[in-house]
Structure 1
Amino acid sequence: MTSWIEVINYVRLRYEVLEETEEWLRFRLDTAGERTQQVAVHHLPDVDGTAWLEISSPVGRADEIDLRRLLELAGEPEVGGAAVVDGIALLKHVVPLEDLSVREEFERPLGLLVSRADAIEHELTENDHF
């Protein structure tokens, strides 16, 4: 069984951690070209006895982007869905923490989500704010 602490340690060893609390951490990944993308991983409360991780990455400020286009783009990939939290438009994905293979079931969706979020941010804003 994988623990939240194992996920935190995995991230700390591989990525530039920008901010961390007991329940979430925010870090940065390099993407295509000289672009970077921020990502947050939240340890969600147990639901029916199962702990979950939410992986999210910002794509723009909600009041500055075409939200309809965001929803269209978010519907294309195999991972992720769109949300707006505190005025920031995000691409999000949730994985169960129990029996999580950090390399397969965390790293793969993380990479797919971050790559897609960066592409959406670039299309919607033509910038690299996040």
Structure 2
Amino acid sequence: MATWGDLAAYVHDTYDVISENEDEIRILFNFEQFDEDDERTQVIILVREVLDRLHEWVQIASPVGLASDVDLHAFLTEIGNSTIACGAAIMGDHVVLRHSLPLADLDIHEFTEPLSLLAGTADRLEETFFGGDNY
């Protein structure tokens, strides 16, 4: 993969795109269904970022809940103890998990594996700290 356009084409072929603009694609990540009564999904936002006006990156982010609804100390402690491929941030009113990757020499597995890991982590933390599957 070399450019945002290449990544966007791959995402359209592989994932359920729910919205898009020039530098952002939102997908609905579907987990394998283990229980017919518990079909879980996670909204993932892919954003094109340009570092130093030269280098294209993709930021993978997923909202998990409202910052005002969580004990941030407990939440961040859990992330520190149980995650390897994402960090947490507050963006607007929401707590999000995110991970960024350079696009120039990106192998597809360097994108899909962190995406899956981030989606699963976001889903687990959303359930644990916010009590549902709202995002």
Report TM bin, short chain.
over 0.9
Q: Aligned to 1:54, which of 39, 53, 59?
A: 59
Paired amino acid for 2:83: P
Cα displacement (A) at 1:77: 1.1
Q: What residue is the counterpart of 1:18 in the other structure?
A: 18
Give the stretch that moved more between structures: 41-50 or 4-13. 41-50
Cα displacement (A) at 1:73: 2.1
- Normalised to the residue count of structure 2, the TM-score between the two structures is 0.89
Structure 1 residues 67-112: Cα deviation after superposition (integer angstroms, max 9, x where no partner):
112211222311000001010100000111111112x110000000
Partners of 1:37 and 1:74 lie apart in 2 by 18
Partners of 1:34 and 1:69 lie apart in 2 by 27
The count of corresponding residues between Structure 1 and Structure 2 is 129
Partners of 2:123 and 2:13 lie apart in 1 by 22
Alignment of 1:1-130 (within 5 A): 2-31=2-31, 33-47=38-52, 49-75=54-80, 76-102=82-108, 104-130=109-135
Q: CA RMSD in A?
A: 1.4
Partners of 1:66 and 1:119 lie apart in 2 by 16
Structure 2: which 5+ residue stretches go unaligned?
A: 33-37
Residue identity over aligned pairs, in percent, reads 33
Paired amino acid for 1:61: L
Aligned partners of 1:74 and 1:91 also within 8 Å: no
- Normalised to the residue count of structure 1, the TM-score between the two structures is 0.92
Structure 1: which 5+ residue stretches go unaligned?
A: none
Partners of 1:62 and 1:35 lie apart in 2 by 22
Aligned partners of 1:15 and 1:27 also within 8 Å: yes
Partners of 2:52 and 2:83 lie apart in 1 by 26
Cα displacement (A) at 1:18: 1.3
Partners of 1:8 and 1:100 lie apart in 2 by 13
Larger of the two Rg values belongs to structure:
2
